Structure 1
Amino acid sequence: MVTPLDVAGLAAALIRIPSVTPDPGHSQEMLAGVLTEMGFDVVHLPFGEGSERTPNLFARLGSGSPHLCFAGHTDVVPPGAATWRHDPCSGTIEGGVLFGRGACDMKGGVAAFVAAASSFLASNPGWSGSISFLLTGDEEGPARFGTRKVLEWMQENGHTPDFCVVGEPTNPSVMGEVIKIGRRGSMNARIVVEGRQGHVAYPHRADNPVHRLVRILDALTAAPLDAGSQWFEPSSLQITSIDVGNVATNVIPASAMAALNIRFNDLHTSASLGGWIETICRQHAGRVVVTTECSGESFLTAPGGEVDVLRDAVMDVTGREPRLDTGGGTSDARFIARYCPVAEFGLVGASMHQADECVAVEDLQTLTRVYVRLLERMMT
C-alpha cells in the first residue's frame, strides 16, 4: 500500500541536497529510493563523459496505455552573489513559505508530481495505464546529455509516452493562470566579416570590415521578422555583441565580428533563418563567415486532447481557466515535443533564479492536487 507523501517535506529535502549544475549531488538517488518504495521500476541513465557526465533518471509504473510522463530537472542555478534571508540549501519553511534554491524551479515541481503519484496510487487501486518520470541533472546547463539522450533511450526501449507534462513554473502570479503549449525556437548566429587592415589616413589602401558589418546588421534589423502567428508572438532578433578587438585609433581592423540571437515562432525554422542571414551577409560583404547554432526549434501542441484534459484538471482544482501560452524562454519540452504531445504546468515562477527563491506551501499543495486530478482524469 502506497502512503501519500508530504509535498512540502519532500521539496524541502530536495532543496537541502546541493545540486548546482553541473554537480549532481545525490537528489536523484534520494528520489530513486522514494519511487522504488512506491513500486516504480527505476533506471539511472548517466550520459556523457568526464566533466560532461550527466545524471538522469527514468522511472515507470505500469505497462499499458495511456502512458503519462512527468518530466523535470533536479539541477539548479547557483545562489549568486546577493545576500539570502535563509541559506539557499536550508529548505526553511517560514510563515507558510518554503525558501531555497530550486523551490519553484524546479525541485518544488518535482516534489509535486512525485507526491501526486503517491496520493493517486493510494486512492485508486483499480487504475490502468502507465505513469513515468523523466528527471535530468542538466536542464540549467548545456542540456546535451540530459533529456534529449533519455528520450532516445526511452524510444529505443519502448517507453515513449502518450502525453508528457513538464513541471516548469508557468504561472506569473497565482496558480491556474497559464499552461504552456509551445515555445519559441532559439538560435544564435556569429558573423565574421574579413577586410584588409590599413592606416585610417589611407582608407583606399584598406578594406574596412566594420563598415560592411554595420550595413549587414542594419539590413538584418531594418524590419520585423514577422507579425506573429495564431499562438506565437512576433519573432525577435537581438544583436548581442559587436567586436573588432581593436585597441588602436588609427588602424582599420582586419576583421569584425557580431553575434545575435533570434527567438522565432512557428513561421520559421532555424534553417530558413540561417539561409536568410547568409543571403543578407553576401549582399554586403564578399568575405564573410556565418555560423549558427540552434538550441531548439519552435513547437506547438495544439489545443484539444490531453491539453484539454490538463486544462480541465487545473480548472477543477483552482477554479481558474488557464490561458494557453507559448511565451518565455526555452525548456526541455523542446526535446520532448519531437516524441509526443507535451504541455507545461507548474508553480508560480516570480522568484525563480533570484535570491530568496521561494514558493508558498499552499501552492505546492495546489499543484499536487492538479497533478492528482490529471492522473484521475487520464487513468480511471
Structure 2
Amino acid sequence: METPDPVALAGSLITLDTRGGGERAAADLLAGLLDDGGFTVRTEPDPADPARANLVARRGDGRPPVTLTGHLDTVPADPAGWSFDPHAGDVVDGRLRGRGSTDMKAGVAALVVAALRSDPATPLQLVFTFGEETGGDGARLLTGLEPSPLLVVAEPTANRVLHGHKGVLWLRLVQHGVGAHGSRPELGDNALVALGRVAAALHDHTWPVSAT
C-alpha cells in the first residue's frame, strides 16, 4: 500500500463538510486507509444521527498500545465571510486552505500517515471522534478502548509539544445544612449559602498554567 501524502490527505478531509455534523464521511475515508494498512477498524455511528460517527483503529500484539487521537468535526464556516471556499482544501502560496486546516484535520491526517508509516510491530490505537467542538458528543459514546500508557492529541498548540492537555473533570459536591424556622434563622445552617461560597472560591481561584 502506498502511504498517502499528509498534506493531500488533510486537503481531502477539508473538502468534507463536517461543521458540527457529517463526520461519518471523514471516518469512512480514514477507515479505508487504515484497513488497507493492516489495522482492525470499526466505525461507531451516532445512534441519533447516522451521518456522525467515531472511528477506532487498532494494531498490535497484545501489549498496551500508544493511543493517537483527534476530532473530525470543525466549528462553523459561513462562506459569506470567507474570501475563498472554506472547503477548498487546496494549497496556495505554500499554505493549506480551508476550515479545519488548523483545528484539526491537518493533525488527524498527520496521525494517520504517521501510523501507516510506523513499524507494524508497534502497538497503536487510533481514536477519532465526532462532536468535539460541541461538548465531546462522540467521546461520550466511546466504549471498549484499550488502556494506554501514552495519549497523543494532535490539537494545534502553536506548533509546540505540550505535556498535558485541557480536559474536563466533573465533581459532585454535597453540603448538608440544618433546617430552622424563618423566625429563627440563626438556629439553622443554610446549605445553599455554603455551596455558594464554594462556587465563588472556585471561580476566584488562580489555577496554575504550564508554559512548557
State TM-score, norm by structure 2. Answer: 0.75
Q: For residue 90 of structure 1, what is the aligned residue in structure 2?
A: 88
Instruction: Quote the offset at 1:41 in angstroms.
Output: 0.7
How many residues get paired?
A: 188
Partner Cα distance (1:57, 1:220) in 2: 37
Greater gyration radius: 1
Q: For residue 187 of structure 2, what is the aligned residue in structure 1?
A: none
Verify the 8 A CA contact 1:74 1:135 in the aligned structure 2.
yes
Q: For residue 78 of structure 1, what is the aligned residue in structure 2?
A: 76
Are positions 1:110 and 2:105 aligned together?
no
After superposition, the Cα gap between the structure-2 partners of 1:153 and 1:66, relative to the gap in structure 1 and judged at 3 Å, is: closer
Verify the 8 A CA contact 2:44 2:53 in the aligned structure 1.
yes
Q: For residue 148 of structure 1, what is the aligned residue in structure 2?
A: 140
| 1:13-56 residue CA offsets vs partner (Å, 9 max, x unmatched) | 1101111112335111111111111111101112432x597411
Secondary structure of the corresponding residue to residue 9 of structure 2: helix
Match of 1:169 among 129, 146, 156: 156
After superposition, the Cα gap between the structure-2 partners of 1:70 and 1:76, relative to the gap in structure 1 and judged at 3 Å, is: same
State TM-score, norm by structure 1. Answer: 0.44
Q: For residue 11 of structure 2, what is the aligned residue in structure 1?
A: 12
Secondary structure of the corresponding residue to residue 168 of structure 1: coil
Report percent identity of matched pairs: 30
Instruction: Quote the offset at 1:62 in angstroms.
Output: 1.2
Instruction: Quote the offset at 1:84 in angstroms.
Output: 1.6
More strand by share: 1
Q: Which amino acid aligns with 2:123?
A: S
Are positions 1:179 and 2:177 aligned together?
no
Q: Which amino acid aligns with 1:98?
A: L
Verify the 8 A CA contact 1:3 1:118 in the aligned structure 2.
no
Which structure 2 segments of 5+ residues have no match?
Answer: 171-195
After superposition, the Cα gap between the structure-2 partners of 1:141 and 1:114, relative to the gap in structure 1 and judged at 3 Å, is: same
Verify the 8 A CA contact 1:38 1:118 in the aligned structure 2.
yes
Match of 2:121 among 121, 124, 128: 128
Listed as ranges, the matches of 1:270-349 within 5 Å are 323-324=211-212
Partner Cα distance (1:143, 1:223) in 2: 23
Which structure 1 segments of 5+ residues have no match?
Answer: 122-126, 188-216, 234-321, 325-380
Verify the 8 A CA contact 1:58 1:134 in the aligned structure 2.
yes
Secondary structure of the corresponding residue to residue 113 of structure 1: helix
| 1:215-244 residue CA offsets vs partner (Å, 9 max, x unmatched) | xx999769973343xxx24xxxxxxxxxxx
Secondary structure of the corresponding residue to residue 45 of structure 1: strand
Q: Which amino acid aligns with 1:73?
A: H
| 1:55-113 residue CA offsets vs partner (Å, 9 max, x unmatched) | 11100111332411111111111103653232011102011100001101111000001
RMSD between aligned residues: 3.0
Q: Which amino acid aligns with 1:149?
A: L
Q: For residue 59 of structure 1, what is the aligned residue in structure 2?
A: 57
Partner Cα distance (1:184, 1:114) in 2: 23
After superposition, the Cα gap between the structure-2 partners of 1:65 and 1:99, relative to the gap in structure 1 and judged at 3 Å, is: same
Partner Cα distance (1:35, 1:93) in 2: 25
Q: Which amino acid aligns with 1:183?
A: K
Secondary structure of the corresponding residue to residue 72 of structure 1: strand
Partner Cα distance (2:29, 2:14) in 1: 12
Verify the 8 A CA contact 2:24 2:54 in the aligned structure 1.
no
